[in-house]
Structure 1
Amino acid sequence: MTERTDLIETLARHRGFLLQTAEGLSEEQARTASTVSALTIGSLLKHVADTEEQWMGFAVHGAQAFEGGGVYESDVDWDAVAAEGESNDGDWSDSEWVDDRFTLSDAETLDVLRARLLEVAAATEAILAEADLDVSHPLPSAPWFEQGVSWSVRRVGLHLIAEIAQHAGHADIIREAIDGQKTMG
Structure 2
Amino acid sequence: MVTHVRAEAQGDERGALLSFVEEQRGGIRRAVLGLTEEQARTRPSASELSLGGLLKHVVEVEQTWIARAKGEPPAVKRDESNWHECFQLLDGETVASQLAYWEEVAAGTEAFIRAVPSLDDTFPLPNDPWFPPDERVSMRWVMLHLIRETARHAGHADILRESLDGKTAFELVALAQAG
- Provide the TM-score with structure 1 as the length reference: 0.80
Extract unaligned runs of 5+ from structure 1.
Answer: 72-95
**Shift of residue 183 of structure 1?**
1.6
Spell out structure 1 runs of 4+ moving beyond 3 A.
none
Per-residue CA deviation, residues 25-76 of structure 1 (Å, 9 max, x unaligned), is: 1110000111111111111111111110110011111xx52497214xxxxx
Given that 1:172 and 1:184 are in contact with CA atoms closer than 8 Å, whether structure 2 keeps it comes out as: no
Given that 1:139 and 1:150 are in contact with CA atoms closer than 8 Å, whether structure 2 keeps it comes out as: yes
Is 1:32 aligned to residue 37 of structure 2? Answer: no
Counterpart-to-counterpart distance in 2, 1:122 and 1:184: 27
Residue matched to 2:110: 125
**Shift of residue 107 of structure 1?**
1.4
Given that 2:21 and 2:147 are in contact with CA atoms closer than 8 Å, whether structure 1 keeps it comes out as: yes
Given that 1:21 and 1:172 are in contact with CA atoms closer than 8 Å, whether structure 2 keeps it comes out as: yes
Extract unaligned runs of 5+ from structure 2.
Answer: 1-10, 172-179
Is 1:154 aligned to residue 140 of structure 2? Answer: yes
**Shift of residue 130 of structure 1?**
1.3
Given that 2:64 and 2:75 are in contact with CA atoms closer than 8 Å, whether structure 1 keeps it comes out as: no
Residue matched to 1:177: 163
RMSD: 1.8
Residue matched to 2:92: 107
SS of equivalent residue, structure 1 residue 125: helix
Q: 1:103 to 1:121 in 2, by over 3 A?
A: same
> In the alignment, residue 97 of structure 2 is paired with which amino acid?
V
Residue matched to 1:65: 73
SS of equivalent residue, structure 1 residue 101: helix
**Shift of residue 175 of structure 1?**
0.6
User: Number of matched residues?
Assistant: 159
5 Å-filtered alignment, 1:28-107, equals 28-61=38-71, 64-66=72-74, 69-71=77-79, 97-99=81-83, 100-107=85-92
- Provide the TM-score with structure 2 as the length reference: 0.82
SS of equivalent residue, structure 2 residue 66: helix
SS of equivalent residue, structure 2 residue 126: coil
Higher relative contact order (CA 8 A, sep 6+): 1
Given that 2:123 and 2:137 are in contact with CA atoms closer than 8 Å, whether structure 1 keeps it comes out as: yes
Residue matched to 2:5: none
Q: 1:172 to 1:43 in 2, by over 3 A?
A: same
Given that 1:35 and 1:174 are in contact with CA atoms closer than 8 Å, whether structure 2 keeps it comes out as: yes
